[in-house]
Amino acid sequence: MARASHRDGTESELAKKRRARRIDRLLAAAHPDARCELDYADPLQLAVATILSAQCTDVRVNLTTPALFAKYRTAVDYAGANPEDVEAIIRPTGFYRNKTKSIIGLGRALVADHGGTMPDRMDDLVKLPGIGRKTANVILGNAFGLPGIPVDTHMIRLTNRLGLTDGKDPVKLEFQLQQLIERREWTMFSHRIIFHGRRVCIARRPACGACTLASQCPAFGTGPTDPAEAVTLLRGSNVEALAKLAGIEAAL
């Protein structure tokens, strides 16, 4: 039996684009609840929460931000904040001194250059303290509804494993994915990939035998392929639905 082109390295760019879009549709069905898991009410809050999320879980950030957002409501508030006060609040997120410097610097830059409001252009965002392309894409896609593909270690791992990208340079991978995924899907594709990585394609031991992307993945077999074994590796609140989508209801 001939091997699928995406598994033997002969896949054309057109075939890869079609496969990428099939993958996105399958992920949409598997993770209809995919979303930004940081709590925020406006673009500034999302920017601050994203800065805090570096080397920290979203759950921990969401436990920390209510007190921060209650005390600092505007860019002016952050600009005039006492660093020690901010550090005391965000300490649980780790690297709190550097994060405090970025957050206060962000407030000052917004006041000085943008009238105290978050800009909605990539070129402006990446000039702000604590904001790189990944964070800028998170802000654009979720706070402003402007499609973006945030690339972090999770996105690199998953899209490399799926054979959609190669290498570890975040900017190069962002542009590679932009050529494969429909622009209107960029933000949601990013959320779906993250959810898939947390629930199915686990870093150390992916649930290959219980994965809806099995037929589309050149790395199939990295984890257990036996459905009964693989289904035990699924994580999250929708394990039963994921197993059914993979056609292994009997394994539950």
Superfamily of domain 43-143: Hypothetical protein; domain 2 (1.10.340.30)
Q: Of the residues 16, 24, 99, 134, which is catalytic?
A: 134
Hey, CA dihedral for 109, 115, 116, 117, is it positive or negative?
A: negative
Q: What is the DSSP letter of 93?
A: G
Would residue 134 show up in a list of annotated catalytic residues for this protein?
yes
Cβ-Cβ contacts under 8 Å for 36 (sequence gap 6 or more): 46, 138, 142, 191
pLDDT digits (tens, 9 = 90+) for 119-167: 999 999 999 999 999 999 999 999 999 999 999 988 999 999 999 999 9
Residue 2, pLDDT score: 36
- Neighbouring residues of 93: CB distance < 8 A, sequence distance ≥ 6: 52, 53, 56, 60, 61, 64, 99
Structure tokens at 169: 């340079």
Indicate the average pLDDT of the chain. Answer: 94
CA dihedral 125, 104, 110, 53 (to 10 degrees): 30
Q: How confident is the model at residue 248, as a pLDDT?
A: 86
- pTM of this structure: 0.91
HEC secondary structure over 201-247: CCCCCCCHHHCCCHHHCCCCCCCCCCHHHHHHHCCCCCHHHHHHHCC
Q: Which has the closest alpha carbon to 151: 166, 165, 171, 131?
A: 171
Q: Which residues contact 212 (CB under 8 A, 6 or more apart)?
A: 26, 27, 29, 30, 200, 242, 245, 246
Q: What is the pLDDT of residue 1?
A: 30
- Domain-by-domain residue ranges, the chain? 13-34+150-199, 43-143, 208-251
* pLDDT the model gives residue 8: 64
Q: Which residues of the chain, if any, have pLDDT below 70?
A: 1-5, 7-9, 250-252
Q: Exactly one of 77, 113, 152, 172 is catalytic; which is it?
A: 152
Pick the CATH number of 13-34+150-199 from 1.10.1670.10, 2.60.40.2550, 2.60.120.920, 2.60.34.10: 1.10.1670.10
Read off the pLDDT of residues 40-58 as tens digits, 9 standing for 90 and up.
999 999 999 999 999 999 9
Q: For residue 4, what pLDDT is reported?
A: 55
17 noted as active-site residue: no
